[in-house]
Amino acid sequence: MAMKGSMLNGIIKMKCPRCQESNLFSDPNPYNLSKLFQMPERCDKCGQKFEIEPGFFYGSMYVSYGLSIGYLVAVWVAFIVLYPDFNVTEYLVTAVGSLIALTPLFFRLSRSVWIHLFVKYDEHAIEKWQKKSEEEKTSLESD
């Protein structure tokens, strides 16, 4: 089982890559389609900005493509092993239908993979953010 601090843990749980405390998405349910794309601007625990630069998540489309192809190949292999007398129509209906049903999950998972490739875990991120916030507060009060 993946433990806190591992990249796999953060990706699967869709947590902030820096502190692995806050959720990457406003609503953890990927099938609430009205909130599928909603992400907070930054992590409320460590201050990590989620959209690092404009268009940052365009790269996650490549991850999503890879996940989808991997899934379709896995379904193909499952059909060959479990149901050797299948026809292509049965495969296409099953594979495409289930892929459509899994699209919201793959969308979010691909964004999680993408941001975790660029932002590394920092076990002291929350303390650093709190210290920085306190310093900013102090400097504002002294002005």
Q: What are 64-106's pLDDT values in tens digits?
A: 999 999 999 999 999 999 999 999 999 999 999 999 999 999 9
Provide the whole-model pTM: 0.86
Three-class secondary structure assignment of 57-74 = HHHHHHHHHHHHHHHHHH
pLDDT at position 143: 58
pLDDT at position 142: 67
User: For residue 20, is it left (φ>0), alpha (ψ between -120 and 50) or beta?
Assistant: left
Given a contact cutoff of 8 angstroms between Cβ atoms, the answer to whether 33 and 104 are in contact is: yes
pLDDT at position 137: 75
**What are the residue boundaries of the structural domains of the chain, listed by start?**
7-142
Q: What are 112-121's pLDDT values in tens digits?
A: 999 999 999 9
Cβ density class 2-17: b for 16+ within 10 Å, e for less = eeeeeeebbbeebbbb
Q: Residue 29: which pLDDT band, with cuts at 50, 70 and 90?
A: very high
